[in-house]
């Protein structure tokens, strides 16, 4: 009987795996690119919104009408205070504004921007009378269907400490408020008609 053939030697094989390319580098580059694009887009949107503040260009007549509506709204708020203040400004003061400007040169020639905003100083003999007048005006505004916000009283040691206020926006979009001035602490009635882009108009007595 012939001898059996020797078994084939068993050899160990080592599997070699080719390392897959790392995805972290590509993801980082993509994320960086997206972040840069979003930053640029946000910046452009901010510039656009700032340039468009004031809305479409209105006629001189439309601006005059806005001035009249804004002043009338403030006067109505002043006359709605009861009890009446011991003293009040007969003529409102025009509130200066530095935000309603065309810093970027967006507006064409013959276009300007203005914000009709006014304030009347009022003086009450005591806080009780002042707060009573606020409550009465709140009732008037609420009766007109307006949403009234409470302005918290400044803390002790600051101008107007302890004097709360109220604010609303009327049917014509005029922002109204009654509350202490942030610098002097004296109560004020304010009306703000908002920033408006318009064609030049003759000088207004404001």
The answer, yes or no, to whether the previous bond of 83 is cis (omega within 30 of 0) is yes
What pLDDT score was predicted for residue 24?
54
* pLDDT reported for residue 52: 52
CATH class of 57-198: alpha beta
Say yes or no to pLDDT of 162 above 70. Answer: yes
Provide the 10 A C-beta neighbour count for residue 147.
Answer: 9
Asked whether the predicted pLDDT for residue 161 surpasses 80, the reply is: yes
Instruction: Look at the chain and count its residues.
Output: 206
Q: What's the pLDDT score for residue 201? A: 77
- For the chain, helix (H) and strand (E) counts, in that order, are 3, 9
For the chain, the domains span: 57-198
Rounded distance, CA 7 to CA 182, Å? 101
Measured distance CA(49)–CA(104) in Å, rounded: 11
Q: Summarize pLDDT for 24-46 with one digit per residue, the tens.
A: 555 555 656 665 555 444 443 34
SS3 108: coil
Min mean pLDDT across 4-8, 28-32, 105-109 is at 4-8
Cα separation, 113 vs 196, in Å, equals 6
What is the share, in percent, of the chain residues with pLDDT greater than 90?
A: 59
pLDDT tens readout for residues 115-155: 999 999 999 999 999 999 999 999 999 999 999 999 999 99
Residues 65-84 have pLDDT tens digits of: 999 999 999 999 999 999 99
pLDDT for the residue 45: 39
* Nearest alpha carbon to residue 72 among 202, 189, 154: 189
Distance between CA atoms of 93 and 120, rounded to whole angstroms? 6
Task: Tell me: pLDDT of 10 over 60.
Answer: no
């Amino acid at each position: 009987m012939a001898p059996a053939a020797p078994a084939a030697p068993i050899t160990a094989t080592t599997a070699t795996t080719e390392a897959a390319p790392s995805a972290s580098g590509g993801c980082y580059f993509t994320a960086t690119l997206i972040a840069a694009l979003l930053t640029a887009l946000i910046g452009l949107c901010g510039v656009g919104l700032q340039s468009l503040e004031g809305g479409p260009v209105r006629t001189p007549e439309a601006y005059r009408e806005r001035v009249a509506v804004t002043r009338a709204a403030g006067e109505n708020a002043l006359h709605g205070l009861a009890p009446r203040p011991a003293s009040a400004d007969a003529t409102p003061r025009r509130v200066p504004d530095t935000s309603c400007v065309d810093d970027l040169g967006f507006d064409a020639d013959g276009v300007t921007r203005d914000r009709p905003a006014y304030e009347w100083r009022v003086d009450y003999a005591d806080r009780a009378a002042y707060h009573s007048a606020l409550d009465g005006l709140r009732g008037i505004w609420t009766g007109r269907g307006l949403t009234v916000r409470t302005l918290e009283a400044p803390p002790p040691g600051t101008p107007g400490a302890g004097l709360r206020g109220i604010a609303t926006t009327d049917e014509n979009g005029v922002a109204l408020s009654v509350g202490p001035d942030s610098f002097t602490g004296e109560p004020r009635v304010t009306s703000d008609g908002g920033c408006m882009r318009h064609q030049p108009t003759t000088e207004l007595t404001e």
